Amino acid sequence: MTINTNILVVCFIASALVALLTTPLAKLLAIRAGALARPGGRHIHEAPIPSWGGLAIACGFLLAGPVAAALFDLPRLHPRQLIGLLTGAGLIIAMGVVDDRFHIPARYKLIGQIIAAAILPFFGISITMISNPLGPEAIFPSTWLDWGLTIAWVVAATNAINLIDGLDGLAAGVSAISCLALATIGLMRGQAEVALLAVVLGGAAIGFLPWNFHPAKIFMGDTGAYFLGFIIGGITVLGAFKIAASIAIFVPILVLTIPLLEAFLSISRRYLRGQPIFTADREHLHHRMLDMGMSQRQIALFMYCVTAFCCVIAIWISRPR
For 60-152, list the strands marked E by DSSP: none
pTM: 0.93
HSE of 139, CA atoms in CB hemisphere, 13 A: 17
Question: Which stretches of the chain drop beneath a pLDDT of 50?
Answer: none
Do you know the residue count of the chain? Answer: 321
Burial class (CB in 10 A: 0-12, 13-18, 19+), 38: exposed
* pLDDT (0 to 100) of residue 294: 93
* pLDDT (0 to 100) of residue 245: 55
Q: Give 45-100 pLDDT, tens digit per residue.
A: 678 999 999 999 999 999 887 777 777 777 778 889 999 999 999 999 999 999 99
* Separation of alpha carbons 261 and 278, rounded Å: 16
* pLDDT (0 to 100) of residue 2: 58
Contacts of residues 90-93 at CB distance under 8 Å and 24 or more positions apart, as own/partner, are 91/115, 91/116, 91/119, 92/116, 92/158, 92/226, 92/227, 92/230, 93/54, 93/55, 93/58, 93/223, 93/226, 93/227
Sign of the CA dihedral with 58 first, then 59, 65, and 70 last = positive
Displacement of CA 127 from its chain's centroid (Å): 18
49-50 and 36-37 beta bridge pairing = antiparallel
* Separation of alpha carbons 268 and 273, rounded Å: 9
* pLDDT (0 to 100) of residue 154: 97
Q: Among 154, 155, 175, 153, which residue's Cα sits nearest to residue 164?
A: 175
* pLDDT (0 to 100) of residue 5: 84
Q: What is the mean pLDDT of the chain?
A: 89
* pLDDT (0 to 100) of residue 70: 73
* pLDDT (0 to 100) of residue 318: 85
* pLDDT (0 to 100) of residue 88: 97
* pLDDT (0 to 100) of residue 140: 66
For residues 125 and 81, is the Cβ–Cβ distance under 8 A?
A: yes
First-to-last CA distance in the chain? 19
